[in-house]
């Protein structure tokens, strides 16, 4: 672990990319959520890093470099493998640990708190989608008034 005196706050795009790459270095090989990125999403890291870095650069540095919508991608993933609260908890644990090991300061804390808000919101929205749609290949029960 890096000493506090060697850590600094997230200051620029290079810091954001460093954080994102370090996080995905962990997430892609994680025994709990790694398969979601590798086997289900088939994540191309070199394509994804600039996009997700723009997302975090916008949140943390006010850069306005991200204009996408992240939820649709997660909803598509959820249709393939239901994303459970444990998946989000693991993602948050890896994210927070990575932030804490690399950075310290106001933006580092914002990176963790915003990740918690996004995870909660996405999980809640995905639960709503799951609750409304019958599972693929599942049995749908209807009443017959004959």
Percent of all residues in the chain with a pLDDT value above 70, rounded to a whole number: 85
Provide the pLDDT confidence category of residue 92 given band limits of 50, 70 and 90.
very high
Three-state SS across 96-119? HHHHHHHECCHHHHHHHHHHHHHH
In the chain, where the domains are located: 9-131
Tell me, what's the pLDDT at 107? Answer: 98
Q: With bands split at pLDDT 50, 70 and 90, how would you rate the model's confidence at 5?
A: low
- Residue 144: band (very low, low, confident or very high) from pLDDT cuts 50, 70, 90: very low
What's the token pair of residue 23? Answer: 């996080």
pLDDT value at residue 136: 47
**The pLDDT of residue 24 is above 60:** yes
CATH class in words for 9-131: mainly alpha
């Amino acid at each position: 672990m890096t000493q506090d005196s060697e850590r600094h706050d997230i200051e620029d795009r290079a810091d954001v990319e460093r954080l994102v790459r370090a996080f995905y270095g962990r997430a892609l090989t994680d025994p709990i959520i790694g398969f979601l990125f590798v086997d289900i999403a088939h994540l191309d890291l070199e394509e994804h890093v600039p996009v997700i870095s723009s997302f975090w650069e916008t949140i943390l540095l006010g850069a306005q470099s991200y204009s996408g919508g992240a939820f649709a991608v997660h909803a598509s993933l959820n249709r393939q493998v239901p994303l459970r609260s444990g998946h989000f908890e693991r993602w948050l644990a890896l994210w927070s640990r990575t932030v804490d090991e690399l950075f310290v300061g106001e933006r580092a804390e914002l990176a963790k708190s915003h990740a918690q808000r996004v995870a909660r919101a996405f999980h809640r929205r995905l639960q709503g989608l799951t609750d409304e749609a019958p599972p693929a290949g599942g049995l749908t029960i209807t009443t017959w008034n004959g």
